[in-house]
Amino acid sequence: AVVSTQSTGNKIHLDVHTVRNTEDTRYPGTYTGYDDSWDFAKFRNNFKIRIIRREEREIEFDMIGIDTPIANAFRRILLAEVPTMAIEEVFLQNNTSVIQDEVLCHRLGLLPIMVDPRLFDMKGKGDKAEERNTLQFKLKMRCKRNKKAPTDTTNADELYCNSKLYTRNVEWEPLGSQKEWLKGGVKFSHDDILINVLRPGQELDMTMHAVKGIGSDHAKFSPVATATYRLLPEIQLLREFRGAAAEKLRSCFSPGVIEIEEGRAVVKDARLDSGSREVL
Amino acid sequence: AVVSTQSTGDHVGKLSIVENEDQDDTCTTLVLHKEDHTLGNVLRHMLVNNPEVEFAGYSIPHPSEEKINLRIQTYETPCLSVMYRALDDTMEVCDHVLDEIDRAEEEWKRAQK
């Protein structure tokens, strides 16, 4: 038998009304005879990251063998301290739309910009806006009546020209030598975000400056829509379930957690469980 | 790290040490400025897993002020050396996680083919 020098970790236990064992007790000295002190070699041997799912804007991965304070620190840093570029100052020449200036500018700040923030420096209070710390965008649109529209239509897109302003209407104006080191241009991450709606005679003329910032300053700078972590559930069936009981067991969990194989209920994928404890 | 026992007006160093009358190296309260649970909990965790440490805990004196109090009591080792070790260990972990992410990314790309 192999005797481990580390005590086995306690598992958080979900009961009907309580949650037990939430404290991590695996500190040196808690369990006599075990050496629980921090050992980087042991961590390195046990630690593994496994990517479960990866899409264009979403990733789900497992971190095995890491402690919650560190995992939580990564989550907090993702939300609050990873920098991005976002519009901070808007110079409005003309805004005769129904959206108020400040509401419009607030919306502009929230637009995600597709650019690598590492290419830029943070702009301090007294710094001038220049190519290394600012991105400049311009939007100038005037809504006109569409003379060629069919006479019986009520669709705004047909009746008017430029009535809806999207992120694709915004132009990037390179400052200094930005054209050379920002190859491919700078766009917003989505082409079809609706910024404003105009009617004939209304105009929007503005210049926007985007700077580098972090989420703890303003949530618009947070690079993630959200970052969450949870502990991987473990479900143990204490006895065999067959027939109607197995069906009932399956319906108590989220779909996909329990499957019926050869008449018996088996735990197929505990990851999909939402922790509802309905089965209890 | 700037170590001072007083804040000088607007500019404060990152780390201060609360005045300790007993001049005992093995008990200190450190004040870390402009930090929160992100670093506090990680440091506390690394300190507590050090067998030389008798007690380690952190608190945030007031949520409106960005400060944490980190209390360290050791058996024999000076507190600051234990603190340095906790910081070094944290950096080691983060570097390794970074390597591991790259490796997992490679594995994912290979599995997709």
- Between CA A18 and CA A142 the distance in angstroms is 61
% residues pLDDT > 70 (chain A): 97
User: Which of B37, B96, B104 has the CB atom closest to A51's CB atom?
Assistant: B104
Query: pTM (2 decimals)?
Result: 0.85
Confidence at residue A70, expressed as pLDDT on a 0 to 100 scale: 94
pLDDT band for B4, please (50, 70, 90 cuts). very low
A36 forms bridges with which residues in the sheet? none
B interface mutation test: which of A54, A55, A70 has the most B CBs within 10 A?
A: A70
CA distance A132 to A174: 11
Distance CA A107, CA A195 (A): 7
For residue B1, pLDDT beyond 50: no
Q: Is the pLDDT of residue B7 over 70?
A: no
Q: Is A29 on the interface with B (CB under 8 A)?
A: yes
Best residue of A26, A47, A49, A67 to probe chain B, by most B CBs closer than 10 Å: A49
Give the confidence band of B56 by pLDDT, cuts at 50, 70, 90: very high
pLDDT digits (tens, 9 = 90+) for A171-187: 999 999 999 999 888 99
Q: What is the pLDDT of residues A111-170, one digit of tens each?
A: 999 999 999 999 988 889 899 999 999 999 999 998 888 888 888 888 898 999 999 999
Q: Is the pLDDT of residue A238 over 80?
A: yes
Residue A183 or residue A78, greater confidence? A78
CB of A50 less than 8 A from some CB of B: yes
Shortest CA distance from A50: residue in chain B: B104
Pull the structure tokens for residue A235.
């479900």
Reported confidence tier of residue B5, pLDDT bands at 50, 70, 90: very low
Nearest by CB to A72, which of B41, B49, B92?
A: B41
C-alpha–C-alpha distance, residues B85 and B82, integer Å: 5
Q: How far is A240 from chain B (nearest CA, A)?
A: 36
With beta carbons under 8 A apart, name residues in chain B contacting A40: 89, 92-93, 96
* Tens digit of each residue's pLDDT (9 = 90 or more) over A261-279: 888 888 888 888 887 888 8
Q: Give residue B38's pLDDT.
A: 94
What integer is the mean pLDDT of A100-117?
A: 95
As for the ipTM of the complex, it is 0.86
Name the minimum distance, in Å, from the CA of B9 to any CA of chain A. 20
- What is the average pLDDT across A2-22? 72
Higher pLDDT, A236 or B103: B103
Q: How confident is the model at residue A8 (pLDDT cuts 50, 70, 90)?
A: low
B41: which chain A residues are within 8 Å (Cβ-Cβ)? 69, 72-73
At residue B23 the predicted structure's pLDDT band, cuts being 50, 70 and 90, is low
CA distance B3 to chain A (A): 25
Lowest mean pLDDT segment, chosen from A31-45, A189-203, B10-24: B10-24
Higher pLDDT, B103 or A238: B103
Residue A6 has what pLDDT? Answer: 56
DSSP code string of chain A: -PPPSSPPPPPPEE-SS-EE--S---STTTSTT---S--HHHHHHH-EEEEEEE-SS-EEEEEES--HHHHHHHHHHHHHTS-EEEEEEEEEEEE-SSS-HHHHHHHHHTSPEES-GGGSPPP-TT----TTT-EEEEEEEE-EE-TTS-TT---HHHHEES-EEEGGGPEEE--TTHHHHSTT--EES-TT-EEEE--TT-EEEEEEEEEEE-TTT-GGG-S-S-----PPP----SS--BHHHHHHHHHHS-TTSEEEETTEEEE--GGG-----TT-
Q: What pLDDT does B3 receive?
A: 42
Nearest-angstrom CA–CA distance, B73 and B83: 11
